[in-house]
Chain A
């Protein structure tokens, strides 16, 4: 790895999000974009965050030829939660009809549970990413500059299936300086061996009449 953004990506995952996931035990972190997953694999406390380098901008500057160049980085965090409905099921084993009826009125729909689970997940992740005690995400000061949560957006919950799946995404930005691994080589200029034309030389030599 020669570009700083890869070091920063790993720091965001290993120094910020994985410790938060380990401490809370309510979500998991993947360091790449997965293609297809089963809803069981993100159910309840198996909630998943995928973290990846979304892209970057490189504004033109005076140092663009020799470096370092400014790199405005975007990381995407993709959130996926899956929930079943929930209620007290004990009355359906040993309760009376009125107990069962009462339990049914207190059903927590899966879509509601998924929405609240996503809100809590985002709360936890925001606090981890913006933690003032880890302003540099565990790297040397000055590598990660102006880290910031740019936006967070929820998608529509899914409508079919035995679980409701809710996804969301957040964009985390920062900038850094990217160094170039090669430097401009120092080359000794060859001495000029061609003919030198001076003012007033013969037109046959220069091709230009002196009086023009």
Chain B
């Protein structure tokens, strides 16, 4: 039985980690790699209306992760490789992305990483 909000938050976080977290692999600009549990990546579509031509709907990939699990925060103009499951499944193959920008939340110690797909050159 949950007795206060703090306890409730801890319980909820444990459940979220257990039920919704997926393993994401990071490679920092210096080449060091590490894996961390991130909240389930968001696989959604956005609408973009260019000045000419039709409306385009690109897929968007967003990873939410605790700052504490990152050895250091990604900085602007740094190239990181972030490999996330290509579908929201623990058995899916990892698909490489780079970080487009970081949304830094302050209240819960989480950040959101907006990703762009990377292909073999």
User: Measuring CB to CB, which residues of chain A are less than 8 angstroms from any residue of chain B?
Assistant: 33-40, 42, 50, 78-80, 82, 84-90, 92, 96-102, 104-108, 110, 153, 155-156, 158-169
Contact = CB atoms under 8 A, between A and B. Distances in A.
B55 interface: yes
Nearest to B57: A38
Contacts of A106: 121
A82 B27 contact: no
Contact of B54 (A35, A85, A107, A162): A35
Interface residues on B, range: 35 or more
A166 B58 CA distance: 12
B33 A167 contact: no
Interface in B43-58: 46-48, 50-58
Nearest to B33: A100
Contacts of A90: 120
B115 to A, nearest CB: 6
Contacts of A153: 52
A92 B115 CA distance: 18
Contacts of A33: 54
B30 A101 contact: yes
A89 B27 contact: no
Given A85-B118, A110-B116, A101 B29 contact: yes
B59 interface: yes
Contacts of B61: 162
